[in-house]
Amino acid sequence: MTKRAYKVYAIEHGTVIDHIPTPGALQVVRILGLGNEGIMTIGIGFRSKKLPQGKDIVKIENRELSKEETDTIALIAPEATINIIKDGEVFEKRQISLPSSISGVFRCPNPNCATNKLGAETRFELEDSRSIRYRCTYCERVTVVEPHLLAGQLSSV
């Protein structure tokens, strides 16, 4: 059996999101609303010492994500690392943390909430950072962030 070479190409300018637990890369792209942002490289299922189940990588060329955008990644990939690339070099290594307040990120699980009954935009305040629980500002329901509740595009405040 021949050894197969794996290569993820470097980018000159942009953002690299590394250490996303497999299979979370496509979910990161979806919640950041990065569908048509230009050239994007997505790697899925790489071996990782840090993540025994494997890791995914997302590279977004010619776009530097804001701190608010990258912090929202902590909702689904709290161990992810962010590298801002300029002139082919790592310009900034960014640690992510849970946003204290988020809007439009996930649905409230309460069917009687104004966000579900009247179509109001969702807004949640961080309740507990260890279990990633947020409180709905409309109905006060506390919920753990789960993939099936995630919406399309994020907006953090």
**Together in a domain, 61 and 111:** no
CATH at residue 20: 3.30.70.140
pLDDT attached to residue 4: 54
Tokens of 10: 């470097």
What total number of domains does the chain contain? 2
Instruction: Answer yes or no: is pLDDT of 6 > 90.
Output: no
The last residue of one of the domains, among 94, 115, 132, is 94
111 pLDDT more than 90: yes
Q: pLDDT band for position 141 (50/70/90)? A: very high
Give residue 78's pLDDT band: very low, low, confident or very high (50, 70, 90). Answer: confident
The answer to whether residues 83 and 58 touch, using CB atoms and an 8 Å cutoff, is no
**Pick from 67, 94, 121: which residue ends a domain?**
94
Inter-residue contact 11 to 42 (CB < 8 Å): no
The rounded percent of the chain whose pLDDT value lies above 70 is: 87
Among residues 94, 125, 140, which one ends one of the domains? Answer: 94
Domain identity same for 90 and 22: yes
Q: Is the pLDDT of residue 124 over 90?
A: yes
Q: Which residue has the higher pLDDT, 27 or 141?
A: 141
Predicted confidence at residue 85, as pLDDT, reads 95
Same domain membership, residue 105 and residue 68: no
Same domain membership, residue 57 and residue 30: yes
Q: Are residues 87 and 33 in the same domain?
A: yes
Looking at the fold, whether 41 and 77 belong to one and the same domain comes out as yes
* Residue 114 three-state SS: helix
Pair (18, 71) in one structural domain: yes
- For residue 40, give the amino acid letter: M
Residue 113's pLDDT band (cuts 50, 70, 90): very high
CATH code, domain with 111: 2.30.30.20
Query: Which positions ≥6 away from 121 have C-beta within 8 Å?
Result: 103, 104, 115
4 occurs within a structural domain = no
Residue 92 confidence (pLDDT): 94
Are 26 and 35 in contact, with CB atoms under 8 Å apart?
A: no
pLDDT band at 29 (very low <50, low <70, confident <90, very high): confident
Rg, the chain, Cα only: 17
Provide CB contacts within 8 A for 123, sequence distance 6+: 101, 102, 103, 136, 137, 138, 157
- Looking at residue 125, its pLDDT comes to 95
- Find the domain containing 113 and state its range: 101-156
Taking only the tens place, the pLDDT of each residue in 37-55 is 678 888 888 888 888 889 9
26 pLDDT exceeds 90? Answer: no
Using DSSP's 3-state secondary structure scheme, residue 116 falls into helix
Whether 120 is in a domain gets the answer yes
